[in-house]
Structure 1
């Protein structure tokens, strides 16, 4: 994989593009584009990368991605098996900042929507409790006429702008928006390798070889591209996947520990509490 500037699938004249995706992964590469993107996961789960954020996604996941912010949704490995019958359904809405005209959001009455669009530069997640109130309106979007879509999206953005800040999560901890079209095959290859092999033992030498770099050069490169060390990033992917398993299945915590790639239950508990704010047992009890 490589980080790429992705052009819209629709003609340049179109500033609003809404469609349903029914295939795994959603995108083949960690990418960015000039359009803002609202993604609603109706069916499927996996891991999403938005800027330097790594988190599991579930049915009901609703995320607003800012312009030029790198992102990638990857389904669980089981979705890519030849005989998989698991269903995927995502409503994707891409729009430019001027999809309703150049100056509309400068009008004081639309200040809330303008502020929402500014705030999503780091990515915003609204989650199930909020998204359930938008489910019907979002699921109908692809079936509407162009005029109705424009009106509906404006309404959805307005309602999202009114959501209490406590009910939304800022995803990326740093501004990783891309301002150039220069791509990086290395980070794309590395992210795919980690996503596909996080449950196995991955040493710094292993991942440096994947990137075709020395370990020192790789560490500097990875920190620059993701704002995290390789170990920190790998632990986060493992813990986020563990949290998903704890939510969806009734496996013992000790078994989940080894499934996601940890060799020590003590270290697993320590990393889980550090990243998720609670021990695995407490996390499961509080769901």
Structure 2
């Protein structure tokens, strides 16, 4: 992980990317490196890669050879969040990124579905719970900070 992190820093020096997206990538690897076990890193990477798909607790638990009950205890112990809570936060972070880079090209509903939410009401409720504001209020803010800190 450290080598990958150093490589990303080198790539950034050679070819600067959008600063916000680069910081997200580096932070994601830093966070993954700080997680206590390989099993948790595998789960978090799996969630990051597949957040837009319907993810079931049993499928994710099977992928790391744990029963759903044992997986729930293990995941909460190491992340401080439930599986569903963590998944929702990942989805909200991605929706924040998409909303900020959207430029009114897509309706909020399309972004919600693209991030794995099954309904607009669920998206609005979850977004407000995680961010403390509605998606439309988030869009109206002239903030350059990104919402990755919620993870």
TM-score under structure 2 length normalisation = 0.75
Compute the displacement of 1:231 (Å).
0.3
Query: What are the equivalent positions in structure 2 for 1:13-32 lying under 5 Å apart?
Result: 20-22=9-11
Give the whole-Å Cα distance in 2 for the aligned partners of 1:72 and 1:221: 16
Q: What is the distance in 2 between the residues matched to 1:71 and 1:21?
A: 19
Between the aligned partners of 2:94 and 2:51, the Cα distance in structure 1 is 9
Are the equivalent residues in 1 in contact too, given 2:32–2:44 (CA < 8 A)? no
1:184 Cα deviation from its structure 2 partner: 2.3
Partner residue in 2 for 1:244: 97
Shift of 1:192: 1.1
Count of aligned pairs: 136
Q: Which residue of 2 aligns with 1:200?
A: 53
Residue pairs, 1:1-287, within 5 angstroms: 6=2, 20-22=9-11, 42-44=16-18, 57-58=20-21, 61=23, 71-72=31-32, 184-249=37-102, 250=104, 251-287=106-142
Shift in Å, 1:20: 3.9
Matches of 2:125 and 2:86, distance apart in 1: 15
Name the SS of the counterpart of 2:88 in structure 1: helix
The answer to which structure has the higher helix fraction is: 2
Following TM superposition, the consecutive aligned residue runs of length 4 or more in structure 1 with deviations greater than 6 angstroms are: none
Write the distance in 2 (CA, Å) between the matches of 1:20 and 1:212: 34
Unaligned runs of 5+ in 1: 10-16, 24-41, 46-56, 74-176
Higher alpha-carbon Rg: 1
Contact preservation (8 Å) 2:61, 2:71: yes
Once superposed, what is the RMSD of the aligned Cα atoms?
Answer: 3.4
Gaps of 5+ in 2: 143-151
CA distance, structure 2, for counterparts of residue 20 and residue 264 of structure 1:
38
